[in-house]
Chain A
Amino acid sequence: MTSVYGKHPRAEFDRDLRQLQDELLALGSMAEKAVVKAVDALRTRDLEMSRQVVRDDDAIDRKRAELEDRAVDLIAIQQPVASDLRMLIAALHVSMELERIGDYAEGIGKISLMMGDQPPVKPLVDIPRMAEKATAMLRASLDALVNHDVERAHQVLADDDEVDALYDQVYRELLLIMVQDPKVIERGTYLLWTAHDLERIADRATNIAEQVIYLVTGKHVDPGRVSKY
């Protein structure tokens, strides 16, 4: 929008907002890589890689703190209103969701380390699929954020049901294996935890999508739309 002053009076603030958004995407990319790496390490039983995932989570936590400081500074200095304010509030929420996604990746890394040299109780098929879907949801939610794309955000909400369905499947399968052979309960539980972490990652991506809907429309998603988990 043009100004009667010719020059855009909020050019600097706009640049700060764009920069914050870029930082948010960088954090999103770190979180996504952590998830992919954690599941890969689990599947290939690469304990060194698992240890790395656990170590790298500190960087995600630091990045989130930086982002939060930046957003708080902008709120204090620029006194934003309307869509600017909603963007900054969304940035605070989204950075928290991304940090939590990083924590789940770290959790999967720790599970892998606990498994040590024991082989997985079953071949890992659905768990990598869950990871793939959850990270795709994460990417889509961040895309929706950048492009203010409400339709895409709604698609993420719908996709969560698929991850929930996969989780159900993994859960039933593992339960059956553990009932049949109580000796594998410990190893089965590791994979249950992993599936649960991935299911939560998808939920966090859903939360980001809900923030996008709030950012663009100024309205919260109907809380009546509750997913199974």
Chain B
Amino acid sequence: MTTATTAMTTPHATAAAPAAVSADTTLSVTNLDMHYGAFRALRGINLEVKRHAVTALIGPSGSGKSTLLRCFNRMNDLVPGARVEGQVLFNGEDIYHPSVDPTEVRLRVGMVFQKPNPFPKSVYDNVAFGLRINGFKGNMDDAVERSLRRAALWDEVKDRLKQSGLALSGGQQQRLCIARAVAVQPDVILMDEPASALDPISTLAIEELMRELCRDYTIVVVTHNMQQAARASDWTAFMTMGEDRAGHLVEVGSTQQIFTNPQDERTEGYITGRFG
């Protein structure tokens, strides 16, 4: 296993081998390396993702933000040749342990993608989908309404629940995907550039929603929009790629600190638009 080289001076910094994960940490990453075949995509990642907060992953293209995000719910397992070394603890449990079912992980760690991708089904069925395949036995109408309300979409769609999800606007479709993700009551919601395909008002609505949702969920968001990271997140992690093209973490800190007084000059260069 590669030794971590990232110097971190924040509360996020983890010891080489954490004996116990603190209660306010949802995801704890230790010495994580990620390979696609012979290519090392991530190197020596050490990161603690705080519970009920929004953590933003920022950095130039190719710095491994999305790859890291996809390590959190084993989405990379679906890529042939993908291999993970190191540890990702979710509520203290190693999600890469051989006994762990990746489907179970993805149920608890939901994901929202860059382009809204509702199923070609009704608004109602989109939200109910995950619950049905998981054998949900409760009141489905209530569960659907609750999820749509959570995603701040209920008022806009309550009279057209039977309409196709694809008939909604882009911003509404993305909120539908968020409703679909929260329906199965995950602990974590991963968002991979959730607003990059949306207009400015829909973007602000998604950011507002993140602030709302982080009261009950832990959110990790990958974004290229620096203002979005500044507005919507509590913690910011800056990643870049090294000479070997492997993505690694440069600096992690409170969003306030990263955007007013970053400690690493690479972070400063990136957020002020002079590098990367």
A residues less than 8 Å from B227 (CB atoms)? 79
A10 near B272 (CB under 8 angstroms)?
yes
Residues of chain A touching chain B, judged by Cβ–Cβ distance below 8 Å, are 1-4, 8-10, 13, 79-86, 218-219
User: Which of A2, A9, A219 interacts with B273 by CB under 8 Å?
Assistant: A9
The CA of A10 and the CA of B226, in the complex, are separated in Å by: 15
A-B contact count (CB 8 A): 42
Question: 17 A–B contact pairs at CB < 8 A?
Answer: A1-B269, A1-B274, A3-B274, A3-B275, A3-B276, A4-B276, A10-B272, A79-B227, A81-B259, A81-B272, A82-B259, A82-B262, A84-B272, A86-B260, A86-B261, A218-B260, A219-B261
User: Which of B60, B260, B275 interacts with A85 by CB under 8 Å?
Assistant: B260
B274 near A82 (CB under 8 angstroms)?
no
A82 near B60 (CB under 8 angstroms)?
no
**Closest 5 pairs between A and B when the two form their complex, measured CB to CB:** A218-B261, A1-B269, A1-B275, A81-B259, A10-B273
Q: Is B271 an interface residue (CB 8 A)?
A: yes
A residues less than 8 Å from B273 (CB atoms)? 9-10, 13
User: Which of B230, B265, B275 interacts with A81 by CB under 8 Å?
Assistant: B230
What count of chain B residues pass the 8 Å CB interface test? 17
Q: Which residue of B lies closest to A214 (CB)?
A: B261
B residues less than 8 Å from A86 (CB atoms)? 260-261
**Cβ distance B61 to chain A, nearest Cβ, rounded Å:** 9
**Cβ distance B263 to chain A, nearest Cβ, rounded Å:** 9
List 18 additional A-B contacts (Cβ < 8 Å) besides A10-B272, A10-B273, A218-B260: A1-B269, A2-B275, A9-B273, A13-B273, A79-B227, A80-B272, A81-B226, A81-B230, A81-B271, A82-B260, A82-B261, A82-B262, A82-B271, A83-B268, A83-B272, A85-B260, A218-B261, A219-B261
The CA of A224 and the CA of B256, in the complex, are separated in Å by: 25
Q: Which residue of B lies closest to A79 (CB)?
A: B227
**Cβ distance A4 to chain B, nearest Cβ, rounded Å:** 6
The CA of A26 and the CA of B265, in the complex, are separated in Å by: 30
The CA of A103 and the CA of B177, in the complex, are separated in Å by: 60
A residues less than 8 Å from B262 (CB atoms)? 82
B residues less than 8 Å from A218 (CB atoms)? 260-261
The CA of A9 and the CA of B230, in the complex, are separated in Å by: 20
The CA of A218 and the CA of B267, in the complex, are separated in Å by: 15
B residues less than 8 Å from A10 (CB atoms)? 272-274
When each residue 56-71 of chain B gets 1 if its CB lies under 8 Å from chain A and 0 otherwise, what string results? 0000100000000000
When each residue 178-216 of chain B gets 1 if its CB lies under 8 Å from chain A and 0 otherwise, what string results? 000000000000000000000000000000000000000
Q: Which residue of A lies closest to B261 (CB)?
A: A218
B274 near A9 (CB under 8 angstroms)?
yes
